[in-house]
A and B are shown apart, each in its own frame.
Chain A
Amino acid sequence: MKTTLKSALRDYSMLLALAAIWAFFGLEHPVFLSSRNLSLLLIELSITASLALGMLLVLLPAQIDLAAGSGVGLAGAVAAVLVFNHGTPALLALLVATAACVVVWASMGALIVGQRIPAFIITLGGLLVFKGVHWLVIKGQTVPVSEGGKNNAYSLLTTYYLPPLAGFALGALVIAGFAFFTLRARARRAAYGFGVPDKERTFMTLFIAGQLIFLLLIVTNQYRGLPLPALILGALALAVYVLTAHTPFGRYLYAIGSNEEAALISGVPIQRTVIVAFALMGAIVALTGFMQTAYAGASTSTVGSLMELDAVAACVIGGTSLRGGRGTVTGVLFGALIMASLLNGMTLMAVSPEIKFIARGVVLALAVWVDVKLNSD
């Protein structure tokens, strides 16, 4: 009896925490639940969650990336300077900055596994170096992402909204696809002789997921439609999910994090896997950097500050182990939603920055403590 209560708490602790946060902000400040704010929250979630998904890729093999936040600022700055100061076409600027990030992060990965320098140190160095380079690049100025308030591909990242009809069409497609793959996976598991959830439960899951997507579309359509970052996050989450759950590369990430020595003896290409994980992190840092800078409207010296810690927090709250080998995409998305909701709500309530920092820290420590408590036997 006690164990079932405990496992239920463990399974639903994040959901409960999320409900509590939303109830608190909703009651204290009804604007929190307005369609406009929820649309903005969705954009903020997309940015936080994207970086957290990248962080998942490096945490799984028991690495860490402390340079992610600085990288976010730097990638956004490089693209902004190319667009605003040099008149480079926005798409090209984004591509150049992305390529640069991939190369830099892959190099950090190579240093970590090739020279056996801990990721903590290499990326801590990266944090400081990229911060400095970021400030050099913008020369202490504020660099807008587009000239004269016009739209370009860069600024559209966070200002484009999918029209309602297209949103519903896409939603229907997503629900159909989700149902198809869920049912297929269930049938295959049954064919393998593995345990499967009973039919009612599967149906309920599909039903609730469908309802949530529908609700999301209704709410966002009341404002301007589905924001582009939500689409980006959707695509990214799908990609990271497939990568971690259905490819050899993903298995290797878990294996390295669970037992690196056994992974080596099992023939896992450890160096290549970790370097690729960091290269992917580089691409995701760039993508997050563009979204975050575009959301701010311009590159300033504070863009990206401490975002690496929010990303780590989202992962950990979502059940990812800092020792590697444990963590899922859904968990990370939940964790990011909790962090984003917290920040958004506090901003809405005009909580002072001091208190915001303290609250974020307390929530992180609390989440890990609860996780440890619930997972201990």
Chain B
Amino acid sequence: MSLSASPTPVLATRELVKRFPGVTALGGVSFELLPGEVHALCGENGAGKSTLIKLLSGIHPFGSYEGSLFAAGREVRFSSTRDAEAAGIAVIYQELALVPEMTVAENLCLGHAPLRHGLIDWDRVYADAARVLEMAKIALDPTAEVRKLGVAERQLVEIAKALSKNPKVLILDEPTAALSEDEVRRLLDVVRDLRARGIAAIYISHKFDEVFRIADRITVLRDGKSITTLETKNTTADEVIRHMVGRPITELFPRRASTPGEVLLSVSGLSVSETRAQAPRLREVSFEVRAGEVLGIGGLMGAGRTELLLHLFGAWGWRIAGKVKLAEISLDSPTPHRALAAGLALVSEDRKRYGLFLESAIGFNLSLSSLSRLARRGLLDEDAEVARSRALFDSLRVKAPGLETTVRTLSGGNQQKIVIGKALMTEPKVLLLDEPTRGIDVGAKLEVYELVNRLCSEGKAIVLVSSELPELIGMSDRIVMLSEGKIGGTFSRAEATQERLLSAALGRTGAPQKQAELS
């Protein structure tokens, strides 16, 4: 019963704290990875999983965080990813880092090709590759070109690449996000096989069935803190979800109930693929939004939330089937230009990429979507333009010297107000808000919420996409959860709990409570 009875963890963290300007990404994470175990990390979007991995892999170097990291019982201070690799930590990221034009073998020895008389020793390149693949029991041809491989096979090449460095710890970040069921099985087999050979793994996934199939233990992260570590065989998905959600929703969200009016946006049977002749990314999505109503749309990363909004707005996808009507106008082949003219406006999630002209003045940004209404006989009516921009600038309480201030110099919250202001100047009937409070401080968030209330009371309909469940529940009158492009569930404000929403997002039919009643 002494402490020495438990084996020394291959990797451990103690009270890790990582702060970014304005945000605390990690607020105390302690967990231990034991030799030869597969340890799953679970948490909502933004719970701190990615930040934790970046600390473990040396991307955020020692000195940029508080707390300690231990490898094989000793404290380690990584100053770069190279140090982490030297300590035996290999990471396989969501975005694959392979060169598609090269063969499997070339990718495996990228950066450290064996040389002979100063030239690449191709015989050894292929022999080494074959040996690594053989060792990992990965059935791949070393001479195959990577671009001809499927996503799962590329994932395996990544694993082989990581293994060629003889790691003690393998970190897999959402490895199955793009894999089919069959491919998932293949990947899990490889991970199991590695575990049998003593390589410990940290496995990050939103998919509970995989987590329960592969993990020995599960650590739950929430709001940047490690909440608990559970033995997989002694727990259930519902318990994990409960820990992931945790807190009760406080009255941070000033949503005022309003009486919905006529239907302003109706979507029926919408199926959309990225381009023609591809598999649909959105499948038979239907919903309605009424005047004075906020419809929340949630879902995990990749569930199709942003794609849905972009498609309604005419900026993404190929419509396979379905009808979209805005008030009485059909939006069959929308472009952003037509959508705006019909009374639909979008505030994009990525404001720097899709929203702002950073080097231009606030006034330029605010009026850009409304110029055709501000022109008289082809010339801009600059008096009217300035008057309208000034009115929005004041009512949104933008903190800046004036309309001529360059947008780049503004804070995130004020930049977001400019993007929203640009949409509002078009006087939309329906406003699509994609993550409108991402990356802005609490005060600015509250202002956005109050603005949503005001717009609703003015009879506009609002579609709010958010990956923060409390925000979704707090600000929406109704909530649609998307799960892999389909509607996983629709909830009224009264029905919505974080557990139910998360279950719907994970594609688990019905709320956990209901299942309990049935069984």
Contacts and interface: CB of A to CB of B under 8 A. Distances in A.
A266 B379 contact: no
Interface string A359-371: 0000000000000
Interface stretch (A42-50, A76-84, A93-101, A257-265): A257-265
B404 A195 contact: yes
A352 interface: no
Contacts of A267: 336-337, 339-341, 369, 426
Interface string B47-90: 00000000000000000000000000000000000000000000
Interface residues of A, number: 26
Nearest to A269: B337
Interface string B382-414: 110010001000000000001110000000000
A251 interface: yes
Interface in A214-267: 242, 246-248, 251-252, 254-255, 258-259, 261-267
A126 B379 CA distance: 33
B355 interface: yes
A193 interface: yes
B426 to A, nearest CB: 7
B346 A265 contact: yes
Contacts of B340: 267
A188 interface: yes
A41 interface: no
Interface in B449-482: none
B315 interface: yes
Interface size class of B (residues with CB under 8 A): 35 or more
Which among B337, B390, B426 has the highest number of chain A CB atoms within 10 Å? B337
B20 interface: no
Q: Is the interface of B mostly helix, strand, loop or mixed?
A: helix
Given A251-B364, A262-B354, A265-B355, A194 B382 contact: no
Contact of A248 (B348, B354, B375, B422): B375
Contacts of A265: 313, 315, 336, 346, 348, 354-355
Nearest to B338: A267
Given A267-B339, A267-B369, A261 B353 contact: yes
A259 B368 CA distance: 12
B21 interface: no
B279 interface: no
A325 interface: yes
A268 interface: yes
Nearest to B336: A267
A357 interface: no
A242 B382 CA distance: 13
Given A248-B371, A251-B371, A258 B346 contact: no
Interface in A181-202: 188, 192-195
Interface in B356-383: 356-360, 364, 367-369, 371-372, 374-375, 378-380, 382-383
A251 B368 CA distance: 7
A248 B380 contact: yes
Contact of A247 (B375, B386, B404): B375
B372 A248 contact: yes
Given A266-B368, A267-B337, A325 B378 contact: no
Contacts of B337: 267-269
A194 B432 CA distance: 32
Contacts of B356: 259, 262
A261 B386 CA distance: 25
B380 A247 contact: yes
Nearest to B374: A248
Contact of A262 (B355, B382, B402, B403): B355
B361 to A, nearest CB: 10
A97 B402 CA distance: 48
A119 B416 CA distance: 33
A13 to B, nearest CB: 20
Contact of B380 (A246, A259, A269): A246
Residue among A242, A246, A251, A267 with max Cβ neighbours from chain B (10 Å): A267
A194 B353 contact: no
8 contacts: A188-B382, A194-B404, A242-B379, A247-B380, A248-B374, A255-B357, A259-B356, A266-B422
Q: What 5 pairs between A and B have smallest CB-CB spacing?
A: A248-B371, A267-B340, A258-B357, A265-B354, A267-B336
